[in-house]
Amino acid sequence: MISADHFDPALVGRAHRAIDPLHSQTYFSPEHDERLSALGLKPGRMSYFAGRAAPMGAVAAGVVTATFYNFSPSLVAHMIPRAWTIATPEQVLPARLDAACASLRRLLGEAADSDAVAELAGLLREASAGLTAEARPLYAGNADLPWPEEPLAALWHGATLLREHRGDGHVAVLLHAGLTGLEALITHSATGRGFTEAAAKATRGWRDEEWAAACSALADRGLLGDAGLTAEGEELRARIEVQTDALAADPWLSLGAEKTARVIELGKGLSRRLVEAGAFGQGVFGR
pLDDT tier, 194 (very low <50, low <70, confident <90, very high otherwise): confident
Q: How far apart are CA 128 and CA 170, in angstroms?
A: 17
Mean pLDDT across the stretch 220-242?
A: 97
Looking at the domain assignment, is residue 11 inside a domain? yes
Looking at the domain assignment, is residue 281 inside a domain? no
E strand or H helix at 213: helix 208-220
Look up the pTM and report it: 0.94
| CA neighbor of 1 nearest in space, from 251, 202, 266 | 251
Structurally, the chain folds into a number of domains equal to: 1
Mean pLDDT across the stretch 137-154?
A: 98
Total H helices, total E strands in the chain: 16, 2
Q: What's the pLDDT at 6?
A: 66
The answer on pLDDT for 282 being more than 60 is: no
List, for residues 149-185, the tens digit of each pLDDT value: 999 999 999 999 999 999 999 999 999 999 999 999 9
> Which residue range is the domain that position 121 belongs to?
4-276
Q: How far apart are CA 77 and CA 180, in angstroms?
A: 18
The answer on pLDDT for 109 being more than 50 is: yes
Looking at the domain assignment, is residue 282 inside a domain? no
Looking at the domain assignment, is residue 96 inside a domain? yes
Q: How far is CA 235 from CA 49, 152, 241, 246, in A?
A: 32, 39, 10, 17
Q: What's the pLDDT at 146?
A: 98
Looking at the domain assignment, is residue 283 inside a domain? no
Percent of the chain with pLDDT over 90: 93
Q: What's the pLDDT at 281?
A: 74
Looking at the domain assignment, is residue 269 inside a domain? yes
The answer on pLDDT for 4 being more than 60 is: no
Measured over the CA atoms of residue 234, residue 240, residue 243 and residue 245, the dihedral's sign is: negative
Looking at the domain assignment, is residue 284 inside a domain? no
